[in-house]
């Protein structure tokens, strides 16, 4: 998980680098390993990045990253599962690489195929590419919408980020979206594309924004659409297809230059993932579980059933009531972002803080 931010000014007013860095560093929890910024010569386009190093742990994987001729720049959050295949194809077409990162594969893919490259990517991703030569900027979000990407665009500027909190840190007085409470109480969440902030939207999944960085004109288009055209009536065929697809998906998720771990909750999903991951990782696999003193909530019984079948490096973490109360502020900051100042969650927060004081 990484954090990306960016600002584009349409009126030739230079971007405030302090505001950009403030946005970037509000996402430090997403990327503790490295950070970077980029601004074009006029300082009308700027990127910020916080990095969690997964593929190519060296400085060559630093972001924002430029392309082969310096005319393309990218900030990227996510993972491209088929980057090795694309890298091989791009090398055969004459492209060179200075890193082993999937980030560089994206930028070379754009150099070769333009915006048609987005549909070639298999993975979970949110990224922005700035094409200096064409005065174009793209925001792109994966087909399943796994990675978040928020933006706000006015006649003067575009601001985007991996989290709403970064836009709030860009402008602390940002107005609320009037109806967010209604949506939250109706659906139990705020449905896309809306957020708690006025005129801040989630980029639709499987879509990209194409922005002229000079005029501010933009469009949002789909680059992919999930289609279901086959009907399977044979049970054994269906089971085999699910098994093969699931196994391949787990294998692709294990591509990493950093140690790989699996959260083993004791549920069906995590148990299957851990067992399949062990098939590829063997003794190198790391698994972790969370357990509780309250036996009616703890799932260590089911975790141990799976753990006993693995030769992984396993750790169990005991989470107590004190851990929850001691980290309450961070929990609300992470989950609720700016909501903690509002009535709906404010009353909950006051009650829990009261409980913490009584404990002390």
CA separation for the pair 78, 249 (Å, rounded): 15
What are the residue ranges of CATH 3.60.20.10 in the chain? 3-222
Question: Range with the lowest mean pLDDT among 28-42, 62-76, 288-302, 321-335?
Answer: 321-335
Residue 344 has pLDDT above 50, yes or no: no
| Topology adopted by domain 3-222 | 3.60.20
Q: State the pLDDT confidence band at 340, using cuts at 50, 70 and 90.
A: very low
pTM flag (> 0.75): yes
Q: Which one, of 38, 226, 47, 237, lies nearest residue 143 by Cα? A: 226
Q: Are 126 and 148 within 8 A, CB to CB?
A: yes
Q: Are 86 and 44 within 8 A, CB to CB?
A: no
| pLDDT value for 188 | 86
Q: State the pLDDT confidence band at 356, using cuts at 50, 70 and 90.
A: low
Going through the chain in order, the beta strands assigned E by DSSP cover 3-9, 34-39, 45-51, 65-66, 72-80, 123-131, 136-141, 150-153, 157-161, 201-202, 207-212, 218-222, 261-263, 286-291, 313-318
Given 3.40.50.620, 3.40.50.300, 3.30.70.1710, 3.40.190.10, which CATH number is that of 235-319? 3.40.50.620
| pLDDT value for 343 | 41
345 token code pair: 């969650």
| pLDDT value for 87 | 96
Q: Among residues 1, 2, 111, 239, which one is catalytic?
A: 2
Residue at token pair 């005065």: 135
- Average pLDDT of the chain? 88
What are the residue ranges of CATH 3.40.50.620 in the chain? 235-319
Q: Is 117 known to be catalytic?
A: no
- In the chain, the percentage of residues whose pLDDT exceeds 70 is 92
The predicted-structure confidence for 139-178, as pLDDT tens digits, reads as follows: 999 999 999 999 999 999 999 999 999 999 998 899 999 9
Residue 338 has pLDDT above 50, yes or no: no
């Amino acid at each position: 998980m990484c954090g990306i931010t960016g600002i584009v000014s349409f009126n030739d007013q230079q971007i405030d680098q302090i505001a950009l860095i403030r946005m970037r560093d509000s996402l430090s929890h997403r990327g503790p390993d490295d950070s970077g910024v980029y601004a074009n010569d006029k300082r009308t386009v700027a990127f910020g990045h916080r990095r969690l190093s997964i593929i190519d742990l060296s400085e060559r994987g630093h972001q924002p990253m430029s392309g082969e001729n310096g005319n393309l720049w990218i900030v990227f959050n996510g993972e491209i599962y088929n980057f090795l295949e694309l890298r091989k194809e791009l090398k055969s077409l004459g492209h060179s690489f200075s890193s082993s990162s999937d980030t560089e594969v994206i930028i070379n893919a754009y150099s070769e195929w333009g915006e048609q490259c987005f549909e070639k990517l298999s993975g979970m991703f949110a990224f922005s590419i700035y094409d200096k030569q064409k005065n174009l900027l793209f925001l792109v979000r994966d087909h399943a919408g796994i990675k978040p990407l928020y933006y706000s665009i006015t006649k003067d500027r575009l601001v985007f980020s991996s989290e709403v909190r970064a836009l709030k840190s860009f402008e602390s007085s940002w107005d609320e979206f009037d109806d967010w409470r209604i949506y939250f109480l109706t659906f139990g969440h705020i449905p896309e594309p809306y957020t708690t902030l006025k005129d801040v939207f989630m980029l639709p999944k499987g879509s990209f924004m194409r922005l002229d960085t000079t005029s501010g004109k933009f469009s949002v288009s789909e680059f992919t659409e999930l289609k279901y055209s086959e009907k399977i009536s044979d049970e054994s065929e269906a089971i085999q297809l699910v098994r093969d697809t699931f196994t391949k998906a787990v294998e692709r998720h294990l591509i990493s230059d950093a140690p790989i771990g699996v959260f083993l909750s004791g549920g069906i999903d995590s148990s299957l993932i851990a067992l399949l991951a062990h098939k590829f990782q063997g003794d190198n696999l790391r698994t972790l579980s969370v357990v509780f003193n309250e036996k009616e909530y703890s799932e260590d019984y089911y975790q141990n059933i799976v753990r006993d079948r693995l030769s992984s490096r396993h750790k169990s973490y005991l989470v107590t009531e004190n851990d929850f109360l001691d980290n309450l502020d961070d929990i609300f900051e992470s989950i609720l972002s700016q909501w903690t100042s509002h009535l709906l969650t404010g009353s909950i927060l006051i009650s829990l803080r009261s409980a913490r004081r009584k404990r002390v």
